[in-house]
Amino acid sequence: MRIDIVSLFPEFVAQCAAFGVVGRAVERGLLSVHGFNPRDYAEGNYRRVDDRPFGGGPGMVMLIDPLRASLRAAREAAPGPARVVYMSPQGAPLTQAKVRELAGRERLILLCGRYEGIDERLIRAEVDEEISIGDYVLSGGELAAAVIVDAVARLREGVLGDAESAVQDSFEDGLLDCPHYTRPVEHDLGTVPEVLMSGNHAEIAKWRRMQSLGRTWQRRPDLLDEAALSKADRKLLEAYRAALEA
C-alpha cells in the first residue's frame, strides 16, 4: 500500500510512520509513505502557498495551484488510481468501518490543510472525500492524516503478528474492548479476575464478551444497538447489569 501525504510539513506525518508496528511494516515494504510539499510547486521567488480570503476575515487560504501541482506529482509518482482524502473538521466522522474501507485500497493521497483551509474549487475538483477525526480544531490536517496512516496500516495483511490483537480490537465488532490483565496475579492495585486463570477458554470468551457488552452499555450506549444483539449477548448483558446491582 502506498500513502502520499500532501502537506507543508510532510516529514511530520512521515515520522508517524517510523515507529512501532507501522514503522516495521514500512521497513518490511508492506507500506510506503511519501511526502509532497506544495511549497516545492509554488511559483515566484516567495513561493506563495496561501493568500488572503476573498470576502475578508482573518487568516489565510491555501492557493489552488501549488496544491494541484503537488497532487499531480503525487499521482504521477506511482501507477494506479489513488483515493484523495482531505482531512478537515467539515469531513465525515472517521469510523473503524471507514478505516477498513480505506485499508482495502492500494493507494491513498492524504491532503493536509493549514491556515483556514483550502480554496473550495480545489476541493471540488480534486478531493474524493473529506474526513474528520473528531469535532475539534487542529492547527493543521497532519495529525488527522497520521491517525489515518496508523489506523489503516495496522489492518493491512501481515502488519500485525498474531501476537497483536487487531481482530479483537474495540470497534472491530462495534463494541468496546474488554479489560486486560497481565502478571503479577497479586498486586497492591488488586488481583486478576479468577476466570482468566481458569484455563476454561469458553468461560473466558464468555466473560470477555460480557465485559465488552457491559462496558459499551455503560460508556457508549450510542454504539450499542440492543435490538441487534443476539439472544446470548442479551443474556450476557443482563448478567453484567445484575452483577452491578448485587
Ligand X SMILES: CN(C)c1ccccc1CNc1ccc(C(N)=O)cn1
Q: By CB under 6 A, name the binding residues for ligand X.
A: 87-89, 113, 116-117, 132-134, 136-138, 140-141, 144
- CB nearer to ligand X: pick between 137 and 163: 137
Which DSSP string do the residues of 88-118 spell out, in sequence order? EEEEEEP-HHHHHHHHT-SEEEEEE--TT-B
Cα separation, 243 vs 56, in Å, equals 60
Q: Specify whether 81 is catalytic.
A: no
CB 30 within 8 A of CB 155: no
Catalytic residue among 89, 105, 130, 220: 89
- Before 193, cis peptide (omega within 30)? no
- CB nearer to ligand X: pick between 67 and 144: 144
Q: How far is the CB of 239 from ligand X (least distance, A)?
A: 38
- CB nearer to ligand X: pick between 36 and 217: 36
Q: Specify whether 89 is catalytic.
A: yes
Catalytic residue among 2, 68, 114, 154: 154
Q: Specify whether 4 is catalytic.
A: no
Cβ-Cβ contacts under 8 Å for 120 (sequence gap 6 or more): none
Catalytic residue among 40, 65, 130, 169: 169
Q: Specify whether 169 is catalytic.
A: yes
- CB nearer to ligand X: pick between 89 and 174: 89
CB 83 within 8 A of CB 105: yes
> Could you list the active site residues?
89, 116, 154, 169
